[in-house]
Amino acid sequence: MRVSLFVTCLIDQLWPSIGTSTVEVLRRAGCEVVFDERQTCCGQPAFNTGYRSEAQRLAKRFIEIFEETDSEAIVSPSGSCTAMVHHFQELFPDDENWRNRARAIAERTFEFGSFLVKVLNVDNVGASFRGRVTWHDACHGLRDLQIHSEPRRLIQNVKGAEFVELANADACCGFGGTFSVKYPEISVAILDHKIAAIEQAEVRAVVSGDASCLMQIGGRLSRLGSKVQVLHLAELLASNE
**Site for another protein, rule CB under 8 A:** 7, 9, 11-16, 19-20, 23, 35, 37-38, 40-41, 43, 45-55, 57-58, 61, 90, 139-140, 142-144, 171-172, 174-191, 215-216, 218-220, 222-223
SS3 content of the chain, % helix, strand, coil (to 5): 55, 15, 30
Q: Residue 25 CB, nearest distance to another protein (Å)?
A: 15
Q: Residue 234 CB, nearest distance to another protein (Å)?
A: 12
In terms of Cα–Cα distance, which of 134, 100, 149 is closest to 208? 134
Q: Residue 108 CB, nearest distance to another protein (Å)?
A: 21
In the bound state with another protein, the residue whose beta carbon lies nearer, of 158 and 236, is: 236
In the bound state with another protein, the residue whose beta carbon lies nearer, of 101 and 220, is: 220
Q: Residue 51 CB, nearest distance to another protein (Å)?
A: 5
Mark out the alpha helices in the chain (DSSP H runs): 9-13, 16-28, 44-49, 52-68, 79-87, 96-107, 112-114, 139, 149-156, 179-182, 184-201, 211-223, 233-238
Q: Residue 123 and residue 125: Cα distance in Å, rounded?
A: 7
In the bound state with another protein, the residue whose beta carbon lies nearer, of 33 and 73, is: 33
CA distances from 148 to 79, 129, 140, 144 (A): 11, 21, 11, 11
In the bound state with another protein, the residue whose beta carbon lies nearer, of 84 and 154, is: 84
Q: Residue 206 and residue 57: Cα distance in Å, rounded?
A: 35
Q: Residue 160 CB, nearest distance to another protein (Å)?
A: 26
